[in-house]
Structure 1
């Protein structure tokens, strides 16, 4: 792990029972950087995020964050170190109000401080829904709430899993724009996103997974310009 790396994944493998889902994956995320993880369904993208956030134990390799080895730690411990995971499906508390969903988070991550007012400034739609139960929100509003809740933990690194899934083009643009703005606050991002073209527009670098293995890495611009990537993933 270089001193300039915030996150370093080194030779990580993971499995679901006897089914190997990741094979010796290595990647880094630097402070203030957006790194995109690309690949088809089943490539291992969600598995990788789950391995980093402690949801899924790894079977080989090491993971370091801010100079500490973190593989084997529980998700709540990693949250307190400064890693927030905004999972696919959002996993908000539908029977609780928007405000309660935001306030339930422990803010010990060591990153920039976000209060409820800061989240409402970022997502004005939530200001109108503050006292509503989260389950009554639209899909786009729920995604805003999930992002806001992740930021309330004061993360230094946020793992986003398919943040635009099921959203309209308007909400997709708004949500990805909010993620891009985190860079200005010094927050790093590891982004799994179905809209790969949009992800590459806001990312600094990208890694490409295929059936659990890392097959490509480089600057987002170079990855987006590669003819084979365009043909396989970008609809060219």
Structure 2
């Protein structure tokens, strides 16, 4: 039975883990860039804004990238205060100018000290994903003037969240293969450690396939699903995100 499930899922991964997946997905935003830091920054915004209709998400992200002169890293490090005024009009659902400007300020501070955003998750240590995600949240909000309202846009396992968008972002940055979808530009976090992004589509497919029993869509559910996927492929469990998302969205089982 396990072998049948693996064969079925591997077939779906092969179908959906293809460049044709990119244009209609928020991952298309960081795919506009080749510089590591541009990919990290645009990817973080794309993942953070990834709720609602995918077409709207992509349009809003492109609007944001245009405000950064299509050079996110250079803009983050070298913008003048006057350059920030344009962001006072930017809004996506409940993500408003306060949130955008806080992210820009955090990113500037971070890249003045570090070469990569991976450090904000790892603090240079080898840990598990719960620690990495908690580190990122704590690092992001360590500034005493960090706005409380922005916290709702950045999940953490401490609040028992499934951390769907951050896990998706980490999949983009960490997974390494030759398919051209995920970037695989980070090395401290290993693909085997990743947690599957758990949204309504993935959850529905996982439950139908017997990969998830837990009723609540929370951190424990994300861990349960990921551990079951790890039984199928210990080195790259989250490649099955492509299969489950594809089944959940495109095929609806």
Is the pair's TM-score, using the shorter chain for normalization, greater than 0.5? no
TM-score by length of 1: 0.35
The structure number with the bigger radius of gyration is 2
TM-score by length of 2: 0.33
Higher strand share: 1
Higher helix share: 2
